[in-house]
Amino acid sequence: MLDDSQGRKRRDRDTTQALLLEAAERLFVRKGFDGARIDEVAGLADVNKRMIYAYFKDKVGLWHEVLEHCLARLVDATRGELDPNADAREQATQVIRRYVDFLAVNPGIVRLLAWESLNDGRRPGPRVDDALARGLEDLHGILKRGVERGTFRADLDPQLIVLGIVHLCSGWFRGRLGASLFGEDPTRPGRTKQFREHAVRMILDGISA
Protein backbone atom coordinates (compact mmCIF):
# COMPACT_ATOMS: atom_id res chain seq x y z
CA MET A 1 0.00 0.00 0.00
CA LEU A 2 1.33 3.46 -0.95
CA ASP A 3 1.90 6.05 1.80
CA ASP A 4 0.67 9.63 1.31
CA SER A 5 3.96 10.90 -0.13
CA GLN A 6 4.16 8.06 -2.65
CA GLY A 7 0.54 8.62 -3.62
CA ARG A 8 1.15 12.33 -4.20
CA LYS A 9 4.22 11.60 -6.31
CA ARG A 10 2.26 9.18 -8.47
CA ARG A 11 -0.58 11.68 -8.90
CA ASP A 12 1.91 14.42 -9.77
CA ARG A 13 3.63 12.15 -12.28
CA ASP A 14 0.33 11.10 -13.89
CA THR A 15 -0.88 14.70 -14.07
CA THR A 16 2.39 15.89 -15.62
CA GLN A 17 2.38 13.11 -18.20
CA ALA A 18 -1.24 13.87 -19.11
CA LEU A 19 -0.45 17.57 -19.59
CA LEU A 20 2.54 16.77 -21.79
CA LEU A 21 0.60 14.25 -23.90
CA GLU A 22 -2.26 16.69 -24.42
CA ALA A 23 0.09 19.50 -25.44
CA ALA A 24 2.14 17.21 -27.68
CA GLU A 25 -0.94 15.87 -29.43
CA ARG A 26 -2.15 19.40 -30.21
CA LEU A 27 1.21 20.41 -31.64
CA PHE A 28 1.88 17.18 -33.51
CA VAL A 29 -1.55 17.36 -35.14
CA ARG A 30 -0.89 20.91 -36.31
CA LYS A 31 2.79 20.69 -37.22
CA GLY A 32 3.72 17.03 -37.51
CA PHE A 33 6.73 15.40 -35.91
CA ASP A 34 9.32 17.52 -37.69
CA GLY A 35 7.55 20.84 -37.13
CA ALA A 36 6.81 20.53 -33.41
CA ARG A 37 9.61 21.33 -30.96
CA ILE A 38 10.21 19.98 -27.47
CA ASP A 39 10.37 23.54 -26.09
CA GLU A 40 6.93 24.26 -27.56
CA VAL A 41 5.42 21.16 -25.99
CA ALA A 42 6.86 22.00 -22.60
CA GLY A 43 5.72 25.63 -22.87
CA LEU A 44 2.17 24.71 -23.90
CA ALA A 45 1.93 22.19 -21.06
CA ASP A 46 3.61 24.64 -18.63
CA VAL A 47 5.97 21.85 -17.60
CA ASN A 48 9.76 21.83 -17.37
CA LYS A 49 11.03 20.21 -20.57
CA ARG A 50 13.32 17.96 -18.54
CA MET A 51 10.18 16.01 -17.63
CA ILE A 52 9.73 15.08 -21.30
CA TYR A 53 13.11 13.36 -21.28
CA ALA A 54 12.42 11.81 -17.89
CA TYR A 55 9.07 10.29 -18.91
CA PHE A 56 9.42 9.73 -22.67
CA LYS A 57 13.22 9.63 -23.23
CA ASP A 58 13.15 11.85 -26.32
CA LYS A 59 10.93 13.40 -29.00
CA VAL A 60 10.47 10.08 -30.79
CA GLY A 61 9.35 8.46 -27.55
CA LEU A 62 6.85 11.27 -26.99
CA TRP A 63 5.54 10.93 -30.54
CA HIS A 64 4.98 7.20 -30.16
CA GLU A 65 3.28 7.67 -26.79
CA VAL A 66 0.89 10.21 -28.33
CA LEU A 67 0.08 7.79 -31.16
CA GLU A 68 -0.53 4.91 -28.76
CA HIS A 69 -2.67 7.10 -26.51
CA CYS A 70 -4.83 8.19 -29.45
CA LEU A 71 -5.19 4.66 -30.79
CA ALA A 72 -6.19 3.36 -27.36
CA ARG A 73 -9.02 5.91 -27.36
CA LEU A 74 -10.05 4.72 -30.80
CA VAL A 75 -10.21 1.10 -29.67
CA ASP A 76 -12.15 1.99 -26.52
CA ALA A 77 -14.68 4.00 -28.51
CA THR A 78 -15.37 1.34 -31.11
CA ARG A 79 -15.58 -1.63 -28.78
CA GLY A 80 -18.64 -2.32 -26.70
CA GLU A 81 -21.52 -4.65 -26.18
CA LEU A 82 -23.22 -5.88 -29.33
CA ASP A 83 -26.69 -7.35 -29.44
CA PRO A 84 -26.06 -11.12 -29.28
CA ASN A 85 -29.36 -11.68 -31.07
CA ALA A 86 -28.45 -9.42 -33.98
CA ASP A 87 -27.17 -10.93 -37.20
CA ALA A 88 -23.70 -10.22 -38.57
CA ARG A 89 -24.89 -7.38 -40.80
CA GLU A 90 -26.50 -5.53 -37.90
CA GLN A 91 -23.43 -5.98 -35.71
CA ALA A 92 -21.11 -4.84 -38.50
CA THR A 93 -23.29 -1.76 -39.01
CA GLN A 94 -22.93 -0.82 -35.36
CA VAL A 95 -19.14 -1.16 -35.36
CA ILE A 96 -18.74 0.90 -38.56
CA ARG A 97 -20.97 3.63 -37.16
CA ARG A 98 -18.95 3.78 -33.95
CA TYR A 99 -15.74 4.01 -35.96
CA VAL A 100 -16.96 6.87 -38.14
CA ASP A 101 -18.49 8.72 -35.20
CA PHE A 102 -15.23 8.56 -33.27
CA LEU A 103 -13.18 9.88 -36.18
CA ALA A 104 -15.75 12.64 -36.72
CA VAL A 105 -15.06 14.10 -33.28
CA ASN A 106 -11.34 13.19 -33.29
CA PRO A 107 -10.10 14.16 -36.78
CA GLY A 108 -6.69 14.89 -35.29
CA ILE A 109 -5.97 11.17 -35.11
CA VAL A 110 -6.34 10.84 -38.87
CA ARG A 111 -4.07 13.86 -39.32
CA LEU A 112 -1.47 12.42 -36.93
CA LEU A 113 -1.35 9.19 -38.89
CA ALA A 114 -1.18 11.14 -42.15
CA TRP A 115 1.94 12.85 -40.79
CA GLU A 116 3.29 9.46 -39.74
CA SER A 117 2.76 8.07 -43.24
CA LEU A 118 5.14 10.72 -44.58
CA ASN A 119 8.10 9.47 -42.57
CA ASP A 120 8.72 6.65 -45.07
CA GLY A 121 9.87 4.28 -42.35
CA ARG A 122 12.48 6.66 -40.95
CA ARG A 123 11.10 6.16 -37.44
CA PRO A 124 10.09 2.81 -35.96
CA GLY A 125 6.41 2.66 -35.17
CA PRO A 126 3.03 1.24 -36.21
CA ARG A 127 2.10 0.98 -39.87
CA VAL A 128 -0.60 3.54 -40.54
CA ASP A 129 -3.08 1.03 -42.01
CA ASP A 130 -2.58 -1.36 -39.11
CA ALA A 131 -2.91 1.47 -36.59
CA LEU A 132 -6.26 2.71 -37.90
CA ALA A 133 -7.49 -0.86 -38.29
CA ARG A 134 -7.20 -1.35 -34.52
CA GLY A 135 -10.59 0.27 -34.16
CA LEU A 136 -12.09 -2.37 -36.43
CA GLU A 137 -10.67 -5.51 -34.83
CA ASP A 138 -14.14 -6.59 -33.68
CA LEU A 139 -15.43 -6.15 -37.23
CA HIS A 140 -12.92 -8.68 -38.55
CA GLY A 141 -14.44 -11.39 -36.36
CA ILE A 142 -17.99 -10.34 -37.25
CA LEU A 143 -17.22 -10.63 -40.96
CA LYS A 144 -15.75 -14.11 -40.52
CA ARG A 145 -18.82 -15.27 -38.61
CA GLY A 146 -21.05 -13.73 -41.25
CA VAL A 147 -19.31 -15.77 -43.95
CA GLU A 148 -19.65 -18.96 -41.92
CA ARG A 149 -23.38 -18.35 -41.40
CA GLY A 150 -24.09 -17.39 -44.99
CA THR A 151 -24.83 -13.72 -44.30
CA PHE A 152 -21.84 -12.55 -46.32
CA ARG A 153 -20.35 -13.87 -49.55
CA ALA A 154 -18.23 -17.00 -49.30
CA ASP A 155 -15.35 -15.38 -51.22
CA LEU A 156 -15.13 -12.46 -48.79
CA ASP A 157 -11.67 -11.48 -47.50
CA PRO A 158 -12.33 -9.83 -44.10
CA GLN A 159 -8.87 -8.26 -43.96
CA LEU A 160 -9.34 -6.51 -47.29
CA ILE A 161 -12.75 -5.23 -46.24
CA VAL A 162 -11.35 -3.81 -42.99
CA LEU A 163 -8.49 -2.10 -44.84
CA GLY A 164 -10.95 -0.76 -47.40
CA ILE A 165 -13.04 0.80 -44.63
CA VAL A 166 -9.89 2.31 -43.10
CA HIS A 167 -8.96 4.02 -46.36
CA LEU A 168 -12.52 5.09 -47.12
CA CYS A 169 -12.94 6.74 -43.72
CA SER A 170 -9.47 8.24 -43.42
CA GLY A 171 -9.84 9.69 -46.91
CA TRP A 172 -13.13 11.31 -45.96
CA PHE A 173 -11.78 12.99 -42.85
CA ARG A 174 -8.40 13.89 -44.31
CA GLY A 175 -9.38 15.13 -47.76
CA ARG A 176 -11.17 18.09 -49.15
CA LEU A 177 -11.63 16.57 -52.60
CA GLY A 178 -15.40 16.90 -52.35
CA ALA A 179 -15.10 20.67 -52.08
CA SER A 180 -13.13 20.92 -55.32
CA LEU A 181 -15.27 18.41 -57.22
CA PHE A 182 -18.71 19.57 -56.16
CA GLY A 183 -18.18 23.03 -54.70
CA GLU A 184 -19.38 22.07 -51.22
CA ASP A 185 -17.88 21.56 -47.79
CA PRO A 186 -17.83 17.79 -47.10
CA THR A 187 -17.54 18.47 -43.38
CA ARG A 188 -20.61 20.67 -43.04
CA PRO A 189 -23.10 19.70 -40.29
CA GLY A 190 -24.98 16.53 -41.11
CA ARG A 191 -22.81 15.62 -44.08
CA THR A 192 -20.60 13.18 -42.15
CA LYS A 193 -23.67 11.33 -40.90
CA GLN A 194 -24.83 11.01 -44.50
CA PHE A 195 -21.40 9.69 -45.43
CA ARG A 196 -21.53 7.20 -42.55
CA GLU A 197 -24.84 5.72 -43.65
CA HIS A 198 -23.78 5.69 -47.30
CA ALA A 199 -20.58 3.86 -46.36
CA VAL A 200 -22.51 1.26 -44.34
CA ARG A 201 -24.86 0.54 -47.24
CA MET A 202 -22.15 0.54 -49.88
CA ILE A 203 -19.92 -1.84 -47.94
CA LEU A 204 -22.51 -4.24 -46.55
CA ASP A 205 -24.66 -4.38 -49.68
CA GLY A 206 -21.52 -5.21 -51.62
CA ILE A 207 -20.53 -8.15 -49.42
CA SER A 208 -23.95 -9.61 -48.58
CA ALA A 209 -24.62 -13.10 -49.82
203/137 same-domain check:
yes
Instruction: For the chain, give the mean pLDDT.
Output: 85
Query: Rounded to 5 degrees, what angle do the CA atoms 136, 140, 142 make?
Result: 110
11/101 same-domain check:
no
Asked if residue 34 has pLDDT above 80, the reply is yes
184/103 same-domain check:
yes
Q: What is the CATH number of the domain that holds 30?
A: 1.10.10.60
Residue 127 lies in a domain: yes
Which residue did the predictor score with more confidence, 89 or 11? Answer: 89
User: Once rounded to an integer, what is the mean pLDDT over residues 42-58?
Assistant: 95
What is the model's pTM? 0.81
| Residue 165 structural domain | 80-207
| Residues 172, 8: Cα–Cα separation, whole Å | 44
93/9 same-domain check:
no
Examine the fold and report which residue of 41, 56, 71 is the final residue of a domain before the chain moves on: 56
Query: Rounded to 5 degrees, what angle do the CA atoms 15, 115, 112 make?
Result: 35
85/42 same-domain check:
no
pLDDT tens digits for range 155-181: 999 999 998 998 888 888 876 555 556
Query: How many distinct structural domains can be found in the chain?
Result: 2
pLDDT tens digits for range 64-104: 899 888 888 888 888 878 888 899 999 999 999 999 999 98
104/39 same-domain check:
no
Residue 150: per-residue pLDDT: 95
Q: Which residues pair with 152 in a beta bridge?
A: 208
